Amino acid sequence: MTAHSSNHRVAPLIRHPLPLLGEATARVLILGSMPGAASLAARAYYAHPRNQFWSIMAAFTGVPPGASYAERTAGLLACRIALWDVVAACRRRGSLDAAIEDDSVRHQDLAGALRTLPHLRLIAFNGREAERQFRRAGHTASPGWPTGFAFAVLPSTSPAMASLPPAQKQRCWIDQLGPFLDFHEKLTKP
């Protein structure tokens, strides 16, 4: 018998393959934790078919969730929304945030990214794990950390976060992001 059984193998190190999706005009930066297996395989943000991210973003962009990835990301950029993740690399089995091994986490250079987004007004976390990893990294305590924007923790769009009905989840996102974007009036009218 070997010293390590198959149940005790070290989880693989996963490196975040996706660049910051955003332009200098962005007002909102949405931060996830780390892409899941479907997103890593597709090299695309929120690629799992049951993830509600693109359905929620359709309320802002007007781009249907079934549109091409290029169309959906262009819609985000046009709405002045940027997208990235807090974790640059970690060990994790599967796709769940709960499986991220904290002692293996390396965080993204968010301070550097924020310098490329001079009009940013809101950092929004897609779920509590993204916000937790952001706090663990100590970003806001770092010298030279940019200031002048708000923070919001939003309900995760992950299919694992099914306790909130999709319509209620979307309303939370609209209420939190809408005031920072140009078309808040359109989003709040019945």
Answer whether residue 1 is part of any domain: no
What CATH code is carried by the domain that includes residue 73? Answer: 3.40.470.10
Q: Which residue has the tokens 């931060």?
A: 31
User: pLDDT per position in the chain (190 positions), as tens?
Assistant: 344 444 567 888 889 889 999 999 999 999 998 888 899 899 999 999 999 999 999 999 999 999 999 999 999 999 999 999 999 989 888 777 777 888 899 999 998 999 999 999 999 999 999 999 999 888 777 777 778 889 999 999 987 777 889 999 999 999 999 999 976 444 544 4
**Does 132 map to a domain?**
yes
Interacting residues of 2 by C-beta distance below 8 A, sequence separation 6+: none
Here the tokens at position 124 are 């929004």
| pLDDT tens track for 96-137 | 777 788 889 999 999 899 999 999 999 999 999 999 999 988
Range of the domain at 11: 6-188
Nearest to 65 by CA among 55, 74, 50: 55
In a domain, 107, yes or no: yes
> What's the pLDDT score for residue 3?
42
**Considering the domain boundaries, does residue 121 fall inside one?**
yes
Which pLDDT value is given to residue 8? 63
77: closest CA among 15, 18, 23?
23
With respect to residue 49, please indicate whether it lies within any of the assigned structural domains: yes
How many domains would you assign to the chain? Answer: 1
Instruction: Return the pLDDT at 45.
Output: 96
Output the pLDDT for position 5: 42
Query: Could you tell me if residue 116 is inside a domain?
Result: yes
Asked whether the beta carbons of 108 and 87 are under 8 A apart, the reply is yes
Non-local (6+) Cβ contacts of 34 within 8 A are 14, 16, 85, 86, 87, 90, 92, 97, 100
